[in-house]
């Protein structure tokens, strides 16, 4: 059956997925889910402390699942369930407004972006990349599209038809790293702007400025 794994060596009995033993990685993943939920206001500080302690000592998937089962729309809420498959195509139709994809979102294989006097930002800094390539078909009229990238992501705009528009692809700082995602942007820009840039450097708080603390880096140091 799909919900069974190899039998225990000592008894020969099949072990359900929920009762199988967790790993360090499983516990760390649930702890991160709990921290994100607390940051969103779903958990109090006391609840966070209790659940993190329970997660770090959990032995089975069922114990981990019980800690996040009441958190809606949280990746990994069911620790024993397989991850959802990414969508092959995502469409964004933005008219006189703003649309953003930020934080932990799953990058599809293809996107269709239509902008009419609006702004669309696709931030790949913390996105879940499941495919080595992303095709973006864009049709932008009097609008703006921003792609926020990081080392390992390359963007190609050679197939764009530009009509009274501006395209700027900024260099991403950091040492050269293997390419994890190639983004090909095709389509038409009419009196619009397309900008590819790294994440902005976080602003210092007043206390950090007063004590002359250095600015935090927008990206972590690249691994060599």
Each residue's pLDDT tens digit, 128-156: 888 899 999 999 999 999 999 988 899 99
Rg of the chain on CA atoms, in Å: 22
Concatenated DSSP letters of the chain: -TTB-SPPTTT----BGGGSBP-HHHHHHHHHHHHHHHHTTSS-HHHHHHHHHHHHT--BHHHHHHHHTTSTT-TTSSTTSPPPPPPSEEEEEEESSEEEE-SS-EE-SEEEEEEES-EEEEE-SS-EE-SSEEEEEEEEES-EEEEE--TTEEEEEEEEEEES-EEEEPPPPSS-----EEEEEEEEEES-EEEEEPPPPPPPPHHHHHTTPPPPPSSPPPP-
The pLDDT of residue 143: 96
Helix axes 24-39, 45-56, angle to 10 degrees: 170
User: What torsion do the CA atoms of 67, 70, 71, 76 make, to the nearest 10 degrees?
Assistant: 50
Among residues 210, 142, 154, the alpha carbon closest in space to that of 181 is found at: 154
CB 177 within 8 Å of CB 152: yes
If one compares 70 and 197, the residue with the highest pLDDT of the two is 197
Residue 43 has pLDDT above 50, yes or no: yes
Q: 164-182: per-residue pLDDT in tens?
A: 999 999 776 555 678 889 9
If one compares 34 and 160, the residue with the highest pLDDT of the two is 160
The pLDDT tens digits for 85-117 are 557 889 999 999 999 998 888 899 999 999 999
pLDDT of residue 223: 45
Which residues partner with 129 through β-bridges? Answer: 107
């Amino acid at each position: 059956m799909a919900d069974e794994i190899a039998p225990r060596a000592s008894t020969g009995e099949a072990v359900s997925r929920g009762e199988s033993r967790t790993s360090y990685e499983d516990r760390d993943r649930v702890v991160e889910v709990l921290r994100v939920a607390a940051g969103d206001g779903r958990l109090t500080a006391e609840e966070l402390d209790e659940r993190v302690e329970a997660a770090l000592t959990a032995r089975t998937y069922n114990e981990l699942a019980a800690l996040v089962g009441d958190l809606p729309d949280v990746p990994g809420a069911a620790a024993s369930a397989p991850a959802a498959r990414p969508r092959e195509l995502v469409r964004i139709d933005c008219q006189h407004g703003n649309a953003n994809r930020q934080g932990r979102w799953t990058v599809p294989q293809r996107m269709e972006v239509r902008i009419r006097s609006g702004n669309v930002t696709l931030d790949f800094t913390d996105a879940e990349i499941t495919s080595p390539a992303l095709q973006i078909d864009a049709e932008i009229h009097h609008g703006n599209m921003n792609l926020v990238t990081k080392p390992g992501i390359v963007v190609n705009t050679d197939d764009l038809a530009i009509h009274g528009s501006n395209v700027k692809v900024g260099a991403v700082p950091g040492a050269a790293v293997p390419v994890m995602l190639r983004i090909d942007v095709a389509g038409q820009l009419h009196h619009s702007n397309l900008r590819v840039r790294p994440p902005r450097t976080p602003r210092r708080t007043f206390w950090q400025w007063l004590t002359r603390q250095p600015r935090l880096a927008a990206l972590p140091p690249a691994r060599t």
